[in-house]
């Protein structure tokens, strides 16, 4: 069989893998199979610039059709893969077409978690956000709604809430945990974000358990809480996280555990089958991690391409992420897992850094309107340079100088 890489998915990880293969001289066929009508496109702007109407759908696409044609990368749109035949090394799409592969890459991504039908009853006005189609529905709904309830205090929900507030809507954020960003950030970061939203007029309800909805003529009219409160709502955004799309892998007998389990090269439990991006669970920091971020998709897609090319490089990421809310840019670097201390460093009014430590060593940092510290931390963590808590406490400590010196190449 002629060398043929089939990539299931057309997101950031898929594009990264395909382009890396071509840029590195791979001469076999490369085919991407996506279930949306678009060329590979950026998802982060869906809850930012695109939702605000500052950009258009075609401008979200990473590359034009001409790029893929010139690079010899096939992109099949509206082509949902329904099965993997590992014995015959092929995949089948919903319209019955079959694609043979010598190497298979699963970049199936994740989908927005939804509430059970028994709770929503199919009411209009209860939306999620994951795709361009979702963003279009949400944008149309925001044009006429006045009272918005966001269920979930994660990044997507908070970003949409900030846009809705600036549009003049009354916005309530409902979070079942005791603070927003519970799974991804420490208490000081969460407190600063809650204060930010409060200053702009949003209401945040924590420790709030949703129990159902009221309706008027089949459209959502209110959100019922366990406390007995009924929140009036013309529009509800459910933003309670994402679920990895592992069904295809599981049905093919691959190992899955909160994602498609891969090693540091992106190899799954199946021969010549790889996975990357939101759907992949990989070993890092003594546990399996699944990251939904641009950084992870780009880098892990490249790692898989290198493995296919026979130039293996183990994945050792420095995770980073960003979120735009009102006039504030929140950026993260590192992984805030198993930390035992947090130190807040205020650079100047409106600019703060929240450092996470384990056994006195920095493992992650969240910054608000402090891009210099964010970039310095990424370089620091990438060079595996130790930063002790006591250094940050010194009045004359200069992080930028420390990074330039400590992370400089030897020799």
pLDDT per residue as tens digits for the range 319-377: 999 999 999 999 999 999 889 999 999 877 789 999 999 999 999 999 999 999 999 99
Give the three-state DSSP class for 410: coil
Q: What is the DSSP string of 345-377?
A: EEEETTEEEEEEEETTEEEEEEEES-HHHHHHH
Give the model's confidence band at 108: pLDDT under 50 very low, under 70 low, under 90 confident, else very high.
Answer: very high
In sign, the C-alpha dihedral spanning 256, 262, 268, 269 is negative
Percentage, residues of the chain above pLDDT 90:
94
pLDDT per residue as tens digits for the range 52-99: 999 999 999 999 999 999 999 999 999 999 999 999 999 999 999 999
12: which 2 tokens?
């950031």
Contact 320, 330 (CB under 8 A): no
Long-range pairs of 224-229 with CB within 8 A, sequence gap ≥ 24: 225/174
pLDDT at 410: 61
149: pLDDT strictly greater than 70: yes
286: pLDDT strictly greater than 90: no
411: pLDDT strictly greater than 70: no
**Once rounded to an integer, what is the mean pLDDT over residues 190-198?**
97
Give the separation between CA 15 and CA 373, rounded to whole angstroms: 30
Task: Considering only the C-alpha atoms of the chain, give the largest distance between any 2 of them, rounded to a whole number of Å.
Answer: 73
Give the separation between CA 356 and CA 44, rounded to whole angstroms: 25
Domains of the chain with bracketed CATH: 4-111+243-308 (3.50.50.60), 114-240 (3.50.50.60), 327-406 (3.30.390.30)
pLDDT per residue as tens digits for the range 346-358: 877 789 999 999 9
**Once rounded to an integer, what is the mean pLDDT over residues 2-11?**
96
Contact 130, 112 (CB under 8 A): yes
Degrees to nearest 5, angle at CA 18 with 13 and 23: 125
Contact 301, 13 (CB under 8 A): yes
Who's near 25: CB < 8 A, 6+ residues apart? none
pLDDT per residue as tens digits for the range 201-225: 999 999 999 999 999 999 999 999 9
Task: State the number of CA atoms in the 13 A half-sphere of 134 facing the CB.
Answer: 20
Q: What is the DSSP string of 63-96?
A: S-HHHHHHHTEEEESS--EEEEETTTTEEEETTS
pLDDT at 10: 98
pLDDT at 1: 65
Give the separation between CA 386 and CA 360, rounded to whole angstroms: 10
Give the three-state DSSP class for 238: strand
Give the three-state DSSP class for 105: strand
pLDDT at 408: 75
pLDDT at 56: 95
In whole angstroms, how far apart are CA 118 and each of 123, 175, 212, 213?
Answer: 11, 20, 9, 11
pLDDT at 102: 98
pLDDT per residue as tens digits for the range 383-403: 999 999 999 999 899 999 999
Give the separation between CA 258 and CA 297, rounded to whole angstroms: 17
Task: State the number of CA atoms in the 13 A half-sphere of 66 facing the CB.
Answer: 0
316: pLDDT strictly greater than 90: yes
**Once rounded to an integer, what is the mean pLDDT over residues 8-22?**
98
Pairing of strands 351-358, 341-348: antiparallel
Degrees to nearest 5, angle at CA 184 with 180 and 185: 70
Using alpha carbons, select from 228, 204, 194 the residue that is nearest to residue 149: 204
302: pLDDT strictly greater than 90: yes
Give the pTM: 0.95
Percentage, residues of the chain above pLDDT 70:
99
280: which 2 tokens?
């992949």
194: pLDDT strictly greater than 90: yes
Residue 399 CB coordination number (10 Å): 19
């Amino acid at each position: 069989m002629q060398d043929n890489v089939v990539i299931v998915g057309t997101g950031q990880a898929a594009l990264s893998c395909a382009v890396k293969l071509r840029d590195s001289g791979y001469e076999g066929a490369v085919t991407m199979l996506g279930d949306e009508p678009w060329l590979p496109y950026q998802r982060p702007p869906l809850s930012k610039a695109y939702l605000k109407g500052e950009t258009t759908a075609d401008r979200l696409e990473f590359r034009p059709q001409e790029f893929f044609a010139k690079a010899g990368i096939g992109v099949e749109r509206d082509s949902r893969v329904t099965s993997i035949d590992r014995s015959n090394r092929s995949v089948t799409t919903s319209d019955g077409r079959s694609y043979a592969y010598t190497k298979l890459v699963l970049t199936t991504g994740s989908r927005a978690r939804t509430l059970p039908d028994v709770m929503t009853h199919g009411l209009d006005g209860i939306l999620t956000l994951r795709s361009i189609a979702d963003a279009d529905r949400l944008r149309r709904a925001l044009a006429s709604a006045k009272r918005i309830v966001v269920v979930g205090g994660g990044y997507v929900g908070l970003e949409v809430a900030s846009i809705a507030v600036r549009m003049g809507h009354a916005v309530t954020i409902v979070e079942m945990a005791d603070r927003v960003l519970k799974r991804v950030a420490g208490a000081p970061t969460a407190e600063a974000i809650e204060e930010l939203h409060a200053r702009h007029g949003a209401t945040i309800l924590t420790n709030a358990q949703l129990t159902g909805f009221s309706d008027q003529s089949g459209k959502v009219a209110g959100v019922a809480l366990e406390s007995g409160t009924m929140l009036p709502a013309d529009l509800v955004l459910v933003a309670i996280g994402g679920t990895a799309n592992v069904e295809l892998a599981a049905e093919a007998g691959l190992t899955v555990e909160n994602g498609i389990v891969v090693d540091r090269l992106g190899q799954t439990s199946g021969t010549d089958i790889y996975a990357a991006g939101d759907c992949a669970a990989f070993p890092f920091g003594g546990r399996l991690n699944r990251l939904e971020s641009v950084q992870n998709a780009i880098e892990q897609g490249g790692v898989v391409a290198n493995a296919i090319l026979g130039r293996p490089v183990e994945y050792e990421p420095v995770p980073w992420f960003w979120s735009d809310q009102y006039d504030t840019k929140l950026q993260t670097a590192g992984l805030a897992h198993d930390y035992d201390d947090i130190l807040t460093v205020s650079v100047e009014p409106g600019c703060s850094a929240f450092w996470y430590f384990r056994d006195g060593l920095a493992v992650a940092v969240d910054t608000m309107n402090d891009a210099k510290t964010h970039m310095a931390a990424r370089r620091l963590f990438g060079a595996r340079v130790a930063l002790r808590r006591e250094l940050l406490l010194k009045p004359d400590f200069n992080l930028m100088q420390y990074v330039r010196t400590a992370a400089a190449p030897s020799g």
